[in-house]
Structure 1
């Protein structure tokens, strides 16, 4: 059995060293022949006699310096040398601008040639680059070289002191602020951010996680460290809280009954006091730490109200206040937890282990230990543990969790599969293409959680309002308690009681919860339907959109055009197709790929071409047999001055039929025309009809195709308007024109070629995010499936979310206003004030949870 990589290895003999990423490497040269150890190299060979985890490639050597790739150390083998791997520098970077795997190979080759750089690995799929060097890397040097190649790069900073925790027991944003303020007083804490919506805390600290958990518990909350992207929930705490609420409620009921059945006042008071202590322990404890951290949260206000009631001798009312408060929090926590589970449920979709093929054996491994290019076996009925490419087997795969598609998709050799999807039937052999932290579902979870942490404009406004409202009402309560009795206007007891009611009314819980719960619920609903909305801001923006512009190719259409006609003017069809294949072979445009594929199917070979040029929005050029040939549209041939008069009628007729025309020729003559046509997606027409039904006034198509093609596609799709013959910058102008006309515009494209238009629009929507990392990074909203089915659902969901947010805000404000008005006539009691506050909070949460049930 092979030893595990990075285990300690021992020399087998003085010549053959098989160290595998051990802490020190001993390289000894006692003969003229030595071997170079290639640690964990994918393309090396391994001798049967060598019991080592690394693949070994023997290399004949002499007294010269050799480089060992193990841990990327540069070593000299002419004498016995011991080199510590601590001298190795290894850094990760994020690369922007790669559009195909060839770019990754170019970067690797270029950077490896630089002095002191031992190894460069670029992963095109994840956009990450790892550089290993014998010296400390200079970012400026790497950046300069990358810019020369046409790419942007930034270092990926990792901080092992930053940890994530789940926080239990928060019931509004003020609780999050209390925890932040308390932890910021600790010298070991550099930064802390608590997000009420997700129930998570991100903290940078030097002390142990146990100490952080202990400090959070002091503030009255429970923290659990998140490890390996998974967390466990503990029902014990919730059960304890339920028991405490029930027991204190029973005591209050017994005391109330006892006061009417002759039981002594001292006994009933004792029952009320015990009930207050049981229900009020957590709020008072949290209030203490809130005051210490200079926070004025609901625990402070409720604790003051309850203690004040007891001080006035109103033990029943004080106990009822605390019990209603505890009951309300319990119910709120349960309701809020439902919104958070929508995202946590995604984390449970991927199995923690995978069956990995190692030689002839199949071994179960944790997904964290599986590497790119490992081969995994997925049995029928199992969830796929990692993203990969099928190399053997056929099956139907249910990928609803990723794309929102309800119907399983047939998959076979060469197709991609995603972690979290279900293998319906048939065994699949899959080559892993992404690590567990880079899978599509991992990115979905990360992006949705980031979205939940970004505050929408309405949420940010409410938070600011609450921070002013609470202290103002608190100060007003103090004035109500002190000023009237001091001027002999009523008794102290009367005005203190009214002041305590004001303290309760000062709790802005319902108002603060009204927006984030609705947004988190809507984001979770969208994610379940295969739609990524990157924040509350974009959710609100989507609700106000009244015009949508679509890119044509690959969005409204299949994006898989077919060659329909080959019209030859001054050449043979075989030579025309050979020239066309030569010109289009280096282009990544879908139409170019179609022409190349058509030529291949006809058995046409490419010619030898040089000086390839890609002319954006026009076509391509290359030199073949010392002559410049072009393939493109009429604009291109008009620019190079090619006579076209005799062929214009034919070209115009083909264009009027809705076909895309690729003209092949030189500056002197046109050789012929290749016609390509695209087909409308099955879902396009229905999606556009549904968008119109929900109130989108303008549905617009943007395309670089000629007017004839654009008109034919627009008519078939059912759009209101179309703009044709557009360059990328022209699409931006089309978006601006719609905005000048007074529309709130969303742009729908593939997230790559349409990036400028996506950025210009009020809302950028990318399609097919499950297949492209760029789409997920570029747009504000991502439709994971490569179709438009979920777009009407997204618009409908966002509009309903906006309505619910407005309902919640108005309801919260009206309840507060009524309660304030009822205080001074004496119509409001303390326990009714608490009931109105906690009840209002519960109602707005339940109202927001209606978004869970919004369906396509």
Structure 2
């Protein structure tokens, strides 16, 4: 995509914070690091208590306990430091070990133990907290069952989902989770699709009319027959024919993309990385200089060394390193639970800064299921001939307007036979051509005629088109050979949730909302008025939509909301591309920065609100992390000890992580 962030799907920086994202296992499983940290704390407290409360005790007993605290507290820290050094990185873990070794060299075993205890406890709790966000993502992948009941002839065999092949017939009982993506071939039911699309109400499902056609033309399958792995069957038993292997299901793709989103850096994250690359060397230089403070200040080397170690600890940007990734991961996980796929930190942050939104009309603000409203034959042609030619050609196309003409036209023809057309060719944004009875058929917008070598309409035809256009109809003119047969008028239906969603966006402060459409201006204005928009741009070809988005971007951050297929160029040009109804659509999932998995426009205000809350939390985290460092560095220079510095430092790290985790509980404000 154009713009600074568009579709940079490299795993940039996947390891940049490896020291902050390990899932440490061991004899206690994922909680091993936490048990080691708590063990370090127990050894520290007992050793300190014996040292202070039992003055006659032998000195080696408290020392042994402090050494135990060192070993337990530093165990995982040493491991991370070694891994970082192998990758030629000098990070926070190494700095902490140097500071602990310095405290030991000074004989401050208790303070060194406190340093490693608090650091290891902070990391253990940080990993635990981050694990919660990751588990919210991983839980999606666990929704699909491990086995499926597959029909093999007259038998039903239980098979691991990994062994399912495309075309297998799978039997799903009532109240079971579906094991695969596919389409219904037998049985009626309602399915809870919330795990994939976020829809709050179950969706009625029924079998496809023609399994053979569905098998060869997936685009002909309506949403009422499409099912997804991981969704929950209702009270009816059904059979589905699988259309994807287990590794390629919509659910698997969502889990994979959301997991990859963790590695996509946001603008703030890139800023903090640049800041750290400058800041850490400065800290090391400052520490080295402070080691020689005794040369200038009248104090023993021991005090200078202690102060240098305290500054080293205080200035380590641990909270800063985790401030943005924790918020991004939590925000992406929360969106995924609501049926919204956000591909990383860049679109998550950018969406919160959106102040203009362009909407495609068909399938976005409308149901995408237009109906024939007018069949107007030209002079010397009857309506039956017009419909027979139109239905014969449009049956070959999967465009929503073509489907409407084929469906409604066939209903109007009743039992009248329709011939078979061939050689369908699409003229993007204009119409189609095909062969019927040895002659070429043109069906498309009136604007198609008279351009690109297609002869124009005569005066009476243009007059008829003009009259229908004034009524806001979408028009398709039909020409067979050299004869203009007539014009078919269609009208789409606005989505019930469209007006409410647009009102919410307006309340949220989105300054400008525009509908851009390939339909003629009057049709665009008619739909815009019904959904509450004041701006509607019609008669736009795909390249014109791109130019329109470029014009909007000159003065605003623009989101483009479309279906992810014919609107892909415009979505790629926008600051953020948002695909509607992306469940099951590979093109939409790959094209968009943000994918609303269900056909639910009400998710858009939720997503923008979540993005704004994420931006707010990132700013709070940066303020806390930088503020603590700004306070601690001068404070330790002027005498603050390692103990209080560590407590404040690690406290700030935990604070920013738990602040970020608030996003997992985000709810849209009504």
- Would you say same fold, with TM above 0.5? yes
The CA deviation string for residues 588-616 of structure 1, in whole angstroms up to 9 with x for no partner, is 32212211222322234334667755443
- Of 567-576 and 650-659, the range deviating more from structure 2: 650-659
C-alpha contact (below 8 Å) 1:296/1:471 kept by paired residues: no
Distance change >3 Å, CA 623–CA 245, structure 1 → 2 = closer
Match of 1:605 in 2: 417
Distance change >3 Å, CA 478–CA 173, structure 1 → 2 = farther
- Residue 596 of structure 1 is aligned with which of 379, 396, 406? 406
Q: Distance in 2 between matches of 1:574 and 1:315?
A: 96
C-alpha contact (below 8 Å) 1:698/1:720 kept by paired residues: no
C-alpha contact (below 8 Å) 1:641/1:667 kept by paired residues: no
C-alpha contact (below 8 Å) 1:642/1:668 kept by paired residues: no
What does 1:214-293 correspond to in 2, within 5 Å?
Answer: 222=25, 236-264=28-56, 266=59, 267-288=61-82, 290-291=84-85
Q: Secondary structure at the match of 1:453?
A: coil
Whether 1:301 and 2:95 are equivalent positions in the alignment is: yes
Distance change >3 Å, CA 485–CA 677, structure 1 → 2 = same
- Residue 738 of structure 1 is aligned with which of 532, 552, 557? 552
Distance change >3 Å, CA 280–CA 793, structure 1 → 2 = same
- Residue 484 of structure 1 is aligned with which of 293, 316, 322? 293
Match of 1:176 in 2: 18
- Of 809-818 and 325-334, the range deviating more from structure 2: 325-334
Whether 1:632 and 2:435 are equivalent positions in the alignment is: no
- Residue 722 of structure 1 is aligned with which of 530, 533, 536? 536
C-alpha contact (below 8 Å) 2:309/2:642 kept by paired residues: yes
Match of 1:93 in 2: none
Match of 1:440 in 2: 250
Distance change >3 Å, CA 752–CA 323, structure 1 → 2 = same
Q: Distance in 2 between matches of 1:338 and 1:834?
A: 25
How many Å apart are 1:579 and its aligned residue? 2.4
TM-score by length of 2: 0.89
Greater relative contact order, per chain length (Cα 8 Å cut-off, separation 6+): 2
Match of 2:214 in 1: none
Distance change >3 Å, CA 302–CA 660, structure 1 → 2 = same
Q: Distance in 1 between matches of 2:474 and 2:498?
A: 20
Whether 1:494 and 2:494 are equivalent positions in the alignment is: no
Whether 1:769 and 2:582 are equivalent positions in the alignment is: yes
Q: Distance in 2 between matches of 1:519 and 1:419?
A: 27
Q: Which runs of 5+ in 1 are unaligned?
A: 1-163, 165-171, 178-195, 201-220, 223-233
Q: Distance in 2 between matches of 1:623 and 1:498?
A: 87
- Residue 549 of structure 1 is aligned with which of 358, 375, 378? 358
- Residue 468 of structure 1 is aligned with which of 274, 278, 283? 278
Match of 1:384 in 2: 178
Distance change >3 Å, CA 685–CA 246, structure 1 → 2 = same
Match of 1:848 in 2: 660
How many Å apart are 1:419 and its aligned residue? 0.6
Match of 2:475 in 1: 661
How many Å apart are 1:299 and its aligned residue? 2.3
Q: Secondary structure at the match of 1:461?
A: helix
- Of 633-642 and 377-386, the range deviating more from structure 2: 633-642
What does 1:312-711 correspond to in 2, within 5 Å?
Answer: 312-414=106-208, 415-481=225-291, 483-487=292-296, 489-570=298-379, 571-601=381-411, 602=413, 603-607=415-419, 614-622=426-434, 629-639=441-451, 640=454, 642=456, 644-646=458-460, 648-665=462-479, 670-711=484-525
Whether 1:781 and 2:600 are equivalent positions in the alignment is: no
How many Å apart are 1:474 and its aligned residue? 2.1
Q: Secondary structure at the match of 2:134?
A: helix
Q: Secondary structure at the match of 2:53?
A: coil
Structure exhibiting the larger radius of gyration computed from Cα positions? 1
How many Å apart are 1:272 and its aligned residue? 2.8
C-alpha contact (below 8 Å) 1:390/1:412 kept by paired residues: yes
How many Å apart are 1:450 and its aligned residue? 1.8
How many Å apart are 1:623 and its aligned residue? 5.8
- Residue 750 of structure 1 is aligned with which of 523, 541, 563? 563
Q: Distance in 2 between matches of 1:567 and 1:416?
A: 35
C-alpha contact (below 8 Å) 1:766/1:782 kept by paired residues: yes
Structure with the higher fraction of residues in helix conformation: 2
Q: Distance in 1 between matches of 2:298 and 2:83?
A: 36
C-alpha contact (below 8 Å) 2:355/2:510 kept by paired residues: yes
The CA deviation string for residues 144-183 of structure 1, in whole angstroms up to 9 with x for no partner, is xxxxxxxxxxxxxxxxxxxx9xxxxxxx966627xxxxxx
TM-score by length of 1: 0.70
C-alpha contact (below 8 Å) 2:199/2:600 kept by paired residues: no
The CA deviation string for residues 190-242 of structure 1, in whole angstroms up to 9 with x for no partner, is xxxxxx66x58xxxxxxxxxxxxxxxxxxxx54xxxxxxxxxxx781445444
Cα root mean square deviation, aligned: 2.5
Q: Distance in 2 between matches of 1:669 and 1:388?
A: 43
Whether 1:802 and 2:615 are equivalent positions in the alignment is: yes
Distance change >3 Å, CA 838–CA 408, structure 1 → 2 = same
C-alpha contact (below 8 Å) 2:315/2:633 kept by paired residues: no
Q: Distance in 1 between matches of 2:421 and 2:194?
A: 45
Distance change >3 Å, CA 349–CA 635, structure 1 → 2 = same
Q: Distance in 2 between matches of 1:333 and 1:754?
A: 41
Match of 2:649 in 1: 837
Aligned length: 633
How many Å apart are 1:289 and its aligned residue? 5.4
